[in-house]
Amino acid sequence: MNIVETGIEGLFVIEPKVFNDSRGYFFESYNANNLVTAGINTVFVQDNESLSTYGVLRGLHYQIEPKGMTKLLRVTSGKVLDVAVDIRKESQTFGHHFSIELSEENKKQLYIPRGFAHGFIVLSETAVVNYKCDEFYSKEHEEGIIWSDANLAIDWKIEIKEIILSDKDKVQPTFNEHTPYRK
């Protein structure tokens, strides 16, 4: 397993070692010992999975403390553009975002610590996204930022007219309006 720094403190791309042969492939999708060796000591308590069609954009979501959430994401079918926005006020990269294509082909994963808003858009016909969380979902602590915020300038890789949003994600506040993430 190769753990790659993204340029934003605490945010990592995880590249598993994939073993291919005539039967198919094998890889460890999660190994706590490898993460601990890299300084990641997260204990995950919940696994989630979503199925979405082309153009579905889910995000940008986060939970405020005391229910902040770390996530470890991967795509088991299809391809998405995954985006994490640093909303830690004390961070040198506050307001910066990182994006990466996650797919069943590349098998990369994104480790997103507490203090980030997160979202993804489906770039294939369908996509299945799986993610581990270190905190349980809490509706009372859930907040968001509008996906189209001009200050964030996220390139979602598809035309705006093709983007499909939930009613909730159509009306999220801008980055400057959102409730700042607090430790």
CA dihedral 86, 51, 80, 143 (to 10 degrees): -20
**41 domain-assigned:** yes
Report residue 98's pLDDT band, with 50, 70 and 90 as the boundaries: very high
Give the number of other Cβ atoms within 10 Å of residue 68's Cβ.
Answer: 19
**157 domain-assigned:** yes
Taking CA 148 as the corner, what is the angle to CA 147 and CA 150, rounded to the nearest 5 degrees? 130
CATH number of the domain within which 64 lies: 2.60.120.10
pLDDT, tens digit, 9 for 90 and up, residues 22-55? 999 999 999 999 999 989 999 999 999 999 999 9
Report residue 182's pLDDT band, with 50, 70 and 90 as the boundaries: very low
Q: How many domains in the chain?
A: 1
**32 domain-assigned:** yes
**178 domain-assigned:** no
> Of 27-41, 52-66, 95-109, 119-133, which range is least confident?
27-41
Longest dimension (CA), the chain: 53
**126 domain-assigned:** yes
Across the range 97-123, mean pLDDT stands at: 97
**180 domain-assigned:** no
pLDDT, tens digit, 9 for 90 and up, residues 126-172? 999 999 999 999 999 999 999 999 999 999 999 999 999 999 999 99
Confidence (pLDDT) at 183: 35
Domain membership of residue 47 as a residue range: 2-170
**182 domain-assigned:** no
Token pair of 137 as six digits: 């979902």
Report residue 177's pLDDT band, with 50, 70 and 90 as the boundaries: confident
Q: So which residues are the catalytic ones?
A: 61, 131
With CA atoms as reference, report the closest residue to 116 among 153, 147, 86, 154. Answer: 86
**177 domain-assigned:** no
Distance CA 155, CA 88 (A): 22
